[in-house]
Structure formats: C-alpha cells, structure tokens
Amino acid sequence: MAPPRIGSLWDAVGNTPLLRIGSLSRLTGCDILGKAEFMNPGGSIKDRAAKGMIQRAEAEGKLAPGGTIIEGTAGNTGIGLGLLGRERGYRVVVTMPDSQAREKFEYLEAMGVEVRKVPTVPFSNPDHFYHRARALAEENGWFWANQFENTANGDFHYATTGPELWEQCEGRLDILVCSVGSGGAISGVSRYLKEKNPSVRVVMVDPPGSGLYCYVREGKMEGSGSSITEGIGIMRLTENFRRAQVDEALRLSDQDMLEMLYHLAREDALVVGTSAAINARAAYEVARRHQGQGLRIVTLLNDHGSRYASKVFNPEFLASKGLGVKPLPT
C-alpha cells in the first residue's frame, strides 16, 4: 500500500524504487535490479526492521509513552530506531562498536540518540555491543529491540519488502542475492518469494570473518579474517536467519566489494555503502555464470555510500587495509 499523500516519517518507510543497474545488466546479458533501500527516511534498509520491532512492541504493550528503547547496533538499526523512536516520543539509547564510520555516530547524536561506544570485541566478550545492550535493558527495565533474535524484524520484511519486490517484478524474478547482518531481510524476503514461486533461487553473500558461508555450505559456523564492510557478517545463528530459505552461499573479499562500489559510483551514479556493494558484486558474479540468459536477478541496495565516506572514499584508510581502487573484472 502506498503511503498517504501527507504523512510522517513513520509512513515514509518502505515502498522504495527498484532500479535496473544498467552497466551490470549490459555486461552480463541478465537483468540486474537493486532495491533502493537507501531511499528510506533514515537512509537504510534498517528503517524497516526498526518500524517492525517498534510496531510489535507497542502492540504487545512492551513500549508505552515515555519509554526507552535500547539496542546494540553497527549503526543503521540505531539510526532507524532513533528516527522512528524519537518521532514517536521515546528515548533511544544505542551501544555501538567504536570501529564504525564516524558519520554514523554524528548522525545518531544529531537526532538526540544517546550513543555509548564500546570496544570492538568478539561476541564471546561481555563488552560486545550486543551484550552491553542486553545488560542495560535488564538493569533499567528498557525495551531491548534485539534485532538479531526479534522475529518482528524478519516478519516486517515478509510483510513489506517481499511483496514490494514481487509486485515491482510483476512476478518474474529468478534469483535473490542478499548479505546477512541480523538475518531479517533475507529471512522475510526469501520466505515470501519462495511462497510465491518455489523455484526462486536465494543466494547469500558473506564477507571474510563471518561464519555463515561455512554454515550454509557445511553446517558448521567457521570463518577467519576480517572485513571493512559494516553491519553484515556474523559468527552465530540468529533466530531471524534460522527462518531464512537459502539455496547457496558465496564469499567475497573486501577488494571484490570495493571494485563494485567504485564501479557503481562511476558507471551508474549509484553511490552505495559497503553491504550494498557486496550485494551488487555477488549479483554480478551470479549473472556471469548465466551470461546472456536474460535472468532477472534482484538484490538490496542497503544504504548510501555517504555514510562511509571517511573510510571507502579515503585513500589513506584503504591503503592502511591493503586495498586499492581497481576496475571491475569483465
């Protein structure tokens, strides 16, 4: 359903355009489409998760006027919760790893969100942003959004993102390509699309340091290395991801991601973030396997690249990570 002609930020979440990525479609002979989630009011796909979780919490009486929302986040979910939560009168507190792009901290603080930076540590460490959020919720009686385990996240994608894609594609969609942060998007969208057409193939893409690639392929959670991508890649099985219907997994490097990020900016005027770039690179690699077959391959452009300018568009930062700007292989 389209938002009202006059509405609020709450009403503006979703109904994002589906864009044909011209250069990639021409290079592969497949129709490569990206859902422009950076056009949500908070600038990312995480606005959907935030709306779904707040909506259910209000319906279940877990959030009342004057309440406090707490979440552990790499940034975008915090922005979505901050945007929608502040608009609805809630106090919003986030715990966030100190390694994230400074643009995210600045955005959150500008909205009046209370940001508590924590060390960038493994999930097993009690100082991990997830555990700190849970502890603060328990200590203060706040509503913990818990995007990883809260199935309102994936269910909102099932109710909105999936149907939007199906309608925009007029029921002709061959492959969905999606990375995983909390698992909400891939969970909701894969379930909806496979209900509509069981032959839709779902390909998950994972960065270095995440265990989901091995989990999908071998049933064990293993991964090594690290990645400059933000908000995706995990070393545990979340309740949202448990419900996803995945057929195949790819692992791509930071260099793979970066090549696509710059290609999209220069060839398609699409300046996207790191998770969107790895999604697009995976869609491109899948399309190359089916060169000239005219398949329709859909992915999610999770957020805008301006949110990462101090990193991905900073030559000094890239050099410090052994990365550089290279052309996309064709």
Q: Which of 46, 51, 104, 311 is catalytic?
A: 46
Quick one: tokens of 150?
């809260």
Dihedral sign for Cα 131, 132, 133, 135, please: positive
CA angle 65, 67, 68 (to 5 degrees): 150
Quick one: tokens of 53?
């979780």
Let me know: does 51 contact 125? Beta carbons within 8 Å.
Answer: no
Let me know: does 99 contact 122? Beta carbons within 8 Å.
Answer: no
Active site residue 46: yes
Q: Which residues contact 316 (CB under 8 A, 6 or more apart)?
A: none
| Residue 137 to residue 74: CA distance in whole angstroms | 18
Closest C-alpha to 13, from 54, 53, 41: 41
| Residue 10 to residue 48: CA distance in whole angstroms | 10
Quick one: tokens of 281?
């690179």
Dihedral sign for Cα 141, 147, 149, 155, please: positive
Let me know: does 209 contact 175? Beta carbons within 8 Å.
Answer: no
Closest C-alpha to 313, from 258, 275, 268, 269: 258
Let me know: does 154 contact 243? Beta carbons within 8 Å.
Answer: yes
- Residues annotated as catalytic are 46
